[in-house]
Amino acid sequence: MTMPWDVIRTDILAITSYPVPHAEGFIKLDAMENPYALPLPLSDQLGERIAQVALNRYPLPRPRQLLDKLKCVMHIPDDCDVLLGNGSDELINLIATACAKPGAKILAPVPGFVMYSMSAKLAHIEFVGVPLNVDLTLDVGAMLRAIAVYQPAVIYLSYPNNPTGTLFCDSDIERIVRAANRSLIVIDEAYQLFAQRTWISRVSEFDNVVVMRTVSKIGLAGIRLGYLVGLPVWISEFDKVRPPYNINVLTQATVDFMLDHLDVLEMQAAETRAQRARLALEIKALPNFHVFPSSANFLLVRVVDATEVFNALLRAWILIKNVSKMHPLLVECLRITVGTSDENTQLIATLKNTLL
């Protein structure tokens, strides 16, 4: 009898699938989601729009009207093109697949988004992680040395970084871009609405820079849409490895509708930024809690015993992310998504009641 280990790659057999914890009934502060639902009048209008979608037809593979609307609303330069992906994860996989020449390497600061290294592994590309400084800022010198040694095909720079929340300095990024003249630089702006900084307007200045975004963090995680912005010479090549019909009709219709109501998501992001500042102050006031600066919709917090704090919150039905074993720089660290005012109040109260 043929078994999986007879035909599946040994490196695939050796890994586990991406862990997604059971969250029903929990205050969910583990996945950097927007905690706010759409207001009822708007959600009703969206439902009416969705009801008109032709579910019996394949989606447009390159929905030109939607792409043009996205470019206009997001202020994407006219000389750039856009590629849609089933979340940023698919775009990261497409980039790895397209760049998987023999001996190719993907480089990124670590700790960083795990899908950069995972996509490299699946594409049989060597991943090179360059540690951040101990304060979790970008080690530019180490990055430049690694670029010179490894000559990577692709360099990922999260702006801001996950799981640290760090917003790398623009001048440091520019040094890397100019030094990596044989690499593609992917600037990942998943948390752009919370950082309020972008490189999209500068993509045309460089022939080796693309910007990647997702709508997941701003309130539309359920529809799974990411987009890549770059010069047409890059986008046309990555489009060749995109699965046909990868963006379903419901996602396309939802995005088209929400682009007319982006102000709602922007107001929710503004509330999250205000709650982020409040939550940081209240956690800092707790003994033995260190909060790292964050430009995202989450906080990285170092505590005396991350597992104890994580389990105490779990018992109180509050779910956060224990990242303490992801990388040596994250020892005893927890990542806490910024929730609503009530959720944040319950979090702080639980920390005070159970741990102090």
Query: What is the total count of domains within the chain?
Result: 2
Query: 122 and 256 in one domain?
Result: yes
User: In sequence order, what are the residues at sequence separation of 6 or more whose Cβ sits closer than 8 angstroms to the Cβ of residue 105?
Assistant: 125, 126, 127, 128, 150, 151, 152, 153
Separation of alpha carbons 79 and 75, rounded Å:
12
Identify whether the C-beta of residue 70 lies closer than 8 Å to the C-beta of residue 255. yes
Query: 120 and 175 in one domain?
Result: yes
DSSP, collapsed to helix, strand or coil, labels residue 301 as strand
Query: 248 and 268 in one domain?
Result: no
pLDDT in tens, 214-243: 999 999 999 999 999 999 999 999 999 999
Per-residue confidence (pLDDT) for residue 356, from 0 to 100: 63
Angle at 160 between CA 156 and CA 162, to 5 degrees: 75
Domain boundary among 200, 226, 261: 261
Q: Which two structure tokens, joined as six digits, stand for 184? A: 């593609």
Domain boundary among 261, 290, 325: 261
The amino acid that residue 271 corresponds to is: E
Run of H or E including 209: strand 209-214
Q: Interhelix angle for 40-51 vs 249-258, to 10°?
A: 140
The per-residue pLDDT string of the chain (356 residues; one tens digit each, 9 = 90 and over) reads 898 888 989 988 888 888 788 888 899 999 999 999 999 999 999 999 999 999 999 999 999 999 999 999 999 999 999 999 999 999 999 999 999 999 999 999 999 999 999 999 999 999 999 999 999 999 999 999 999 999 999 999 999 999 999 999 999 999 999 999 999 999 999 999 999 999 999 999 999 999 999 999 999 999 999 999 999 999 999 999 999 999 999 999 999 999 999 999 999 999 999 999 999 999 999 999 999 999 999 999 999 999 999 999 999 999 999 999 999 999 999 999 999 999 999 999 999 987 76
Domain boundary among 210, 227, 261: 261
Q: Which two structure tokens, joined as six digits, stand for 351? A: 């920390």
Q: Which two structure tokens, joined as six digits, stand for 120? A: 């490299």
> Is residue 300 packed enough to be buried (19+ CB in 10 Å), middle (13-18) or exposed (0-12)?
buried
* Structural domain of 19: 4-40+263-355
Q: What is the CATH number of the domain that holds 160?
A: 3.40.640.10
With respect to residue 47, please indicate whether it lies within any of the assigned structural domains: no
Separation of alpha carbons 177 and 192, rounded Å:
19
